[in-house]
Structure 1
């Protein structure tokens, strides 16, 4: 069978139709083929133009039912897509490298929700593609809701035009206090040593400067200040503006023993953000989102410029792995 016949596009109840296109796109293996990992990876490599086109039109692809069983399989599957790896430098989430280019997804406690965000939108160098993989299905809950960023921008601009105009003019400043080591009890608990992949303060300063991050050393950690950086960007591939920021995530979720979320993000001129508009944005994100329950072996590919993602609370067990690409 030709490789182009191995991927069957289908529909599931959770999808949404946006402009006549299903979000996310869902691919299953052909029922007439007994696939192994090698033939799956070969099909991915040979069908990359088709998969790229599908990702460009939908913004997200769920691959379900393919022979990807564990972290090592996932690592090889990601490599088959041919994207360059993006090292996880500057991100806030506590993560552990599992194998190759594969990390755990955010390791914060299961009772905590992780708000909607574009991956690493709070730093100038961010991934353009994200892969998630379900190695162990959640006991219950634990979905990774996704939402198309341009829809959020359009709704926010229609409802709060002056606020959006200020965002476009001034951008945002993000502030976060990091300890030395990781704090697994916090959704933003990555310490400065793992954030900048060094124990040397001078090396951390060099890497922070490369990311446009200012460091202010404290007695027991460091305060990071990033920005002003854009909150609204142009998705040049699709010719539309996107809600590319971590505003809601920072304002509602960057909270732990070191951090006050209200102080975590401001307009680029330093003035506070209006709480009522932040929470209305959260409502819009929820209304426009799609949440599909994880099944073992699922791979979810996101265009990080097109799609925001979050995490719902869950009952263990749950093991979702991730890989970031340039």
Structure 2
């Protein structure tokens, strides 16, 4: 399947759908529209702009946009939980670009949808770039795509409260080792508790995936974010002086354990960003994306940008979860 080089997220404003320029106008449109599954498969990403959704009105919109809001369990990005499975989008320093990625593509299961909400728009910059996964895959050299065909191996070292990166308690939102082990067993991950309390996790994953509805193959891994080369020469060199590769907070190799060349990592990062389309923010805007078809990132910014994120599984998964809850309640 060839990528549409002119692809952009669909923008929906009040005048486009004959709705009031208010949060209630958006809610009425979403209620009338029904489930967004077909629209997302077709458009891949949708921006709801001009409805002026206030922070106190966000939950109502998210309840309609996301069929089953998920906790950010096993997420590796620094975030703060600010509501009912609503998080800050990232707390990475504002002067840096965050490269393109599909949320939790390194995990056994990942959210099907993401919704971003702009509470405070930045003074300058701060766009959320989004990239069509087909275009990203096709932008890579043949030798890179072929080399990654065997998949990748992710390694995490999660400390016990003090150290670089996130602790295992923060990552899994629990201090129960048994609950963490149960989660990892279900995620087909390997793990080891170190003497200092560090939890080392290894995961073998594919480098591409296919969309569950239309079968489209997309680039779907976070090799460039987990590889030291993606951090820049100076940062990578500093980490190399502090820690051996196997003890870094996160690292990645090919599935067989062989190293991924730094130049390929940079190609993946740069071509993803070059292929992306920027979504600029106004306070009250919402962006809904299909997390399989579309990668996202963040441009540098100035000022007090505050963008929140929530995630969900698919409508089908949500229905199965509700059936399970009903069966448990009836037992």
Please give the TM-score of this superposition, normalised by the length of structure 2: 0.82
* Counterpart secondary structure, 1:30: helix
Where does structure 2 lack aligned partners over 5 or more consecutive residues? 314-331
Partner of 1:58: 43
The structure richer in helix per residue is: 2
Structure 1 contact 143–292 (Cα < 8 Å) conserved: yes
SS of residue paired to 2:277: coil
Unaligned runs of 5+ in 1: 1-17
Q: Does 1:323 align with 2:323?
A: no
Distance 1:316 1:259 in 2: 37
> C-alpha separation between the residues in 1 aligned to 2:279 and 2:23?
24
Distance 1:180-1:111 versus aligned 2 partners, 3 A rule: farther
Distance 2:304 2:271 in 1: 30
Aligned to 1:140: 124
* Structure 1 residue aligned with 2:98: 114
Equivalent of 1:213 in 168, 181, 189: 189
Match of 2:115, SS state, is strand
Report if the CA contact (8 A) 2:19-2:26 is conserved. no
Quote the residue 2:85 is aligned against. Answer: 101
1:182–1:91 Cα change, 3 Å: farther
Counterpart Cα distance in 2 of 1:219 and 1:92: 22
Task: Give the 3-state SS of the residue equivalent to 1:195 in structure 2.
Answer: helix
Find 1:42's aligned residue among 2, 25, 28.
28
What's 1:29 paired with? 14
1:126 has 2:110 as partner: yes
Match of 2:146 among 139, 144, 165: 165
Does the CA-based 8 Å contact 1:178-1:258 persist in structure 2? no
Shift of the 96–20 alpha-carbon distance from structure 1 to 2, 3 Å rule, reads: closer
Partner residue of 2:57?
Answer: 73
- Tell me if 1:199 matches 2:175: yes
Deviation at 1:181, TM superposition (A): 3.8
Give 1:197 deviation, angstroms. Answer: 1.7
Do the aligned partners of residues 21 and 96 (structure 1) sit closer, same or farther apart at CA in structure 2, a change above 3 Å counting? same
SS at match of 1:309: strand
Paired residue secondary structure (1:264): strand
Contact 2:154–2:203 under 8 Å retained in 1: yes
Question: Whole-Å Cα distance in 2 between the matches of residues 20 and 269 of structure 1?
Answer: 34
> C-alpha separation between the residues in 1 aligned to 2:243 and 2:81?
25
| Per-residue Cα deviation, 1:30-58 (whole angstroms, up to 9, x for no partner) | 28653443342132022135x43332222
Question: Higher mean Cα deviation, 209-218 or 61-70?
Answer: 209-218
- Aligned equivalents of 2:263, 2:19: Cα separation in 1: 53
Equivalent of residue 218 in structure 2, options 227, 235, 242: 242
| CA RMSD across the alignment | 2.6
TM-score by length of 1: 0.83
Displacement of 1:19 in angstroms is: 3.4
